[in-house]
Amino acid sequence: MKVYPLKFDSLFKEKVWGGENMARVLGKRLPPGARIGESWEVSGYGDDVSIVANGPYRGMGLGRMEADFGEALIGTDVPRGRFPLLFKFVDAADRLSVQVHPDDAYARRREHGASGKTEAWVIVDAQPGARLVRGLEPGVDAETFRQAIEKGRLDGILHWIEVSPGDVVFVPAGQVHAIGRGILLYEVQQSSDITYRVYDWGRPRPLHIEKALEVTHYDQLPDLVEGLQVEEAGGTKTVLVNCPYFVVGRLDVRSSMEDQCDGRSFHVLSVLDGHGEIGWGSHQTMPIERGESLLLPAQLGAYKVSGNVVVIRTWVPSND
C-alpha cells in the first residue's frame, strides 16, 4: 500500500430539519437549494461508502480499500469486516426527533446483526441559547416515559441543556437525545444508522416506541465532557472522549504538533477551524482546510500538523 493521508468526497444528506450552515461555517459547497442536514465525512456504512478524492487511490471506495489493504489501512487492533466508525457534520436548522439508539447486544438480536450506536458530539457552531436534549430528567422511569410518549407530552421529562461552540457531549447507546435548532456539530459514532424515534414535533414520520422503550437507559450522566488537557510547545492536546469504541481528542495547533499512527489503528482528522498542513514521511506535505476530513492509514507512522488550526482526532483504542 502507498501510505498517505486520504481525503474523501463529502456525502451530503438532505433532511427535513437541515439547513445551509455548513457552507457558512465550514466552507462546504452544498447543492443549491438543498436542506443539507448531514455531511458524511468518512463512512463505510452500507451503500454510503466514502470515495477517495486524492492521490493514487482517487476514485476507490473505502470498503475496497479495506479489503485490499487490511491492517495496513485500519490497524492490527481494529476488527476486520466493516469500517467500524462513521464521521459526520450535522446541521440542525430545526429540531431533530427525540430518539434513542440500541446497544450492540440488542442490535445483533433485533436488527439482523447490526452494530449498536454510541456517539459523541463536538459543538462547532450554535445560536445564542441553543439547546439539546441529553437524557431524561432525574426520577423518570420506564412507566413515566411510556405515559409521556402516549400523551405526546415530553417537555417535562426531557433533560435540556444549553450548548456553545467547543462543548462536547457523550451519548452512549440507550440514552434519549435530540439536537435542538440552531446547532452545527461534529459527530463520531459507531458505524450504524439505527434510530428509534419516540417524538417528532408533529412531523409525519414513523415512530418506533416499543423498541425505544426496550433500549432506553435511565442513568444520570454529566451533561458535558470536561476533557483532559496537555499543553505542548506547539499547542494543546485535549482528550475529550475515551470509550470502548473510539477515543476522540482535540488538537488546538498554534505552530505545529506531532503524533503518530503506530500500526494499531487508523486516525481520522477533521478540521473544525483554521488552515494549515499535515506532514509525513520524507518531507511530504498536504494542505488542510476547515471542513475537511482525512483518514490516516495505520501504517502512516509519524506525522505533524502545522498552522493555526483546530483539529478533532479519533482512533480506535486497543483492547489489551
- 174 and 69 fall within a common domain: yes
- 252 and 104 fall within a common domain: no
- 129 and 37 fall within a common domain: yes
Q: What percent of the chain has pLDDT over 90?
A: 95
pTM equals 0.97
Specify the pLDDT at position 82.
87
| Domain-ending residue, one of 215, 239, 268 | 215
Specify the pLDDT at position 113.
86
Q: Does some domain include residue 1? A: no
- 12 and 51 fall within a common domain: yes
Specify the pLDDT at position 320.
65
| DSSP summary character for residue 82 | S
Q: What is the CATH number of the domain that holds 54?
A: 2.60.120.10
| DSSP summary character for residue 55 | G
- 90 and 186 fall within a common domain: yes
- 22 and 125 fall within a common domain: yes
Domain containing 54 equals: 6-215
Structure confidence by residue, pLDDT tens digits, 242-261: 999 999 999 999 999 999 99
Whole-number Å distance between alpha carbons of 143 and 152: 14
C-alpha cell at 2: 502507498
C-alpha cell at 304: 505533524
User: Helical H runs in 31-175?
Assistant: 62-69, 71-74, 104-110, 142-151
- 202 and 251 fall within a common domain: no
Structure confidence by residue, pLDDT tens digits, 111-139: 998 899 999 999 999 999 999 999 999 99
Q: Does some domain include residue 36? A: yes
Nearest to 25 by CA among 268, 270, 272: 272
- 305 and 193 fall within a common domain: no
| Amino acid (1-letter code) at residue 118 | T
Q: Strand 267-280 to strand 247-253: parallel, antiparallel, or no bridges (unpaired)? A: unpaired
Q: Does some domain include residue 190? A: yes
C-alpha cell at 208: 418506533
Number of domains in the chain: 2
- State yes or no: is 82 an active-site residue: no
- 132 and 204 fall within a common domain: yes
One digit per residue, the tens of pLDDT, for the chain of length 320 reads: 999 999 999 999 999 999 999 999 999 999 999 999 999 999 999 999 999 999 999 999 999 999 999 999 999 999 988 899 999 999 999 999 999 999 999 999 999 988 999 999 999 999 999 999 999 999 999 999 999 999 999 989 999 999 999 999 999 999 999 999 999 999 999 999 999 999 999 999 999 999 999 999 998 889 999 999 999 999 999 999 999 999 999 999 999 999 999 999 999 999 999 999 999 999 999 999 999 999 999 999 999 999 999 999 999 999 76
* Cβ within 8 Å of residue 115, ≥6 positions away: 84, 104, 107, 190, 191, 192
Specify the pLDDT at position 80.
87
Q: Which entry of 95, 134, 197, 290 is annotated as an active-site residue?
A: 197
- 188 and 249 fall within a common domain: no
* Cβ within 8 Å of residue 185, ≥6 positions away: 89, 90, 92, 121, 122, 123, 124, 179
